[in-house]
Amino acid sequence: MADRISVMLTEEEIDARIRQMGEEITKDYEGKELVLICTLKGAVFFACELAKRIDLPSQMEFMRCESYGNSDTSSGNVKLLLDLDQDIAGKHVLVIEDIVDTGRTLSYLMEKLKNRKPASLKLAALLDKPERRVIDIKADYTGFTIPDKFVVGYGLDYAQNYRQLPYIGVVEVVD
Ligand code: 5GP
C-alpha cells in the first residue's frame, strides 16, 4: 500500500520564504558576485528556486558528499563524490543545503571549502533540525526550523522516492 504523507510545509509557504531569503541574500552581497554551491541531490530544488531569487551575478556549482559507516559513532565518515569545476580562492561562496541535521556532512564540507581560501563562505539551508545537532554548525540563512521528524519532498527523499513533491511532508509508513 502507498505511504501516507502529511504536509508540514506547503508549496506556497516554501516559495514565499525562499523569495524572502533571496531578497536578504541580494541585499547582503550587494555589488558582489557569488558562487552558489548546490549540494546533490537533496538541495537541487531549493538551490534552483533560491538562485532565481538572488538578483546578483552568480555562478552555479555542484558538490556531492556521502556519509557512510555508523553515523552514530564518528564525525569523520563523510566522503566527497563530486567536486567543483572551479577554483574558489578569493570568491564569495554560498553553500546551498537542503537540511542541517546532525551537522556532520556540512562541517566536513565547509571545512574543505574553507581550506580553499574563498573571500567569504556562508551557508543557506532550507531546513534546520536543531534537536538532532551533534556538531555545532549554524546556517547563515535558514528557511524553516522544524521538529525532529524525517521529512521528504522538495528534493528530500525516502529511499530515493518523493524528491519531486512540491511540498515538505512527513511519511507515515503504511504496511
Ligand atoms: P547531517 O550530516 O547534518 O546529519 O545530514 C545531512 C543530510 O542528511 C542531509 O543533507 C539530508 O540528505 C539527510 N537528512 C537529514 N535529515 C533528513 C530528513 O529529515 N529527511 C531526509 N529525506 N533527509 C534527511
CATH number belonging to the domain at 11-147, selected among 3.40.47.10, 3.30.310.50, 3.10.290.10, 3.40.50.2020 = 3.40.50.2020
Q: Supply the residue whose CA is at minimum distance from atom 8 of ligand 1.
A: 101
Predicted confidence (pLDDT) per residue in 83-141, tens digit: 999 999 999 999 999 999 999 999 999 999 999 999 999 999 999 999 999 999 999 99
120 in ligand 1 pocket by Cβ < 6 Å?
A: no
Residue 37: per-residue pLDDT: 98
**What are the cell numbers at 65?**
558528499
Computed over every residue of the chain, the mean pLDDT equals: 93
| β-pairing verdict for 78-82 and 58-67 | antiparallel
Closest CA to 39 of 82, 92, 69: 82
All structural domains of the chain with their residue ranges: 11-147
Q: Per-residue pLDDT for 71 more than 80?
A: no
Pair 139, 123: CB distance under 8 Å:
yes
Predicted confidence (pLDDT) per residue in 137-160, tens digit: 999 999 999 999 999 999 999 999
Contacts of 115 (CB under 8 A, 6+ apart): none
Q: Residue 132: CA atoms inside 13 Å, Cβ hemisphere, count?
A: 17
Mutate to test the pocket of ligand 1, among 72, 146, 154, 156 (most ligand atoms within 8 A of CB): 156
101 has catalytic annotation: yes
Q: Supply the residue whose CA is at minimum distance from atom 4 of ligand 1.
A: 102
Report field, pTM of the whole predicted structure over 0.85? yes
In ligand 1, which atom is closest to the CA atom of 78?
2
Residue 74 banded pLDDT, cuts 50, 70, 90 = very low
Q: Per-residue pLDDT for 11 more than 60?
A: yes
What is the arithmetic mean of pLDDT over 22-51?
A: 98
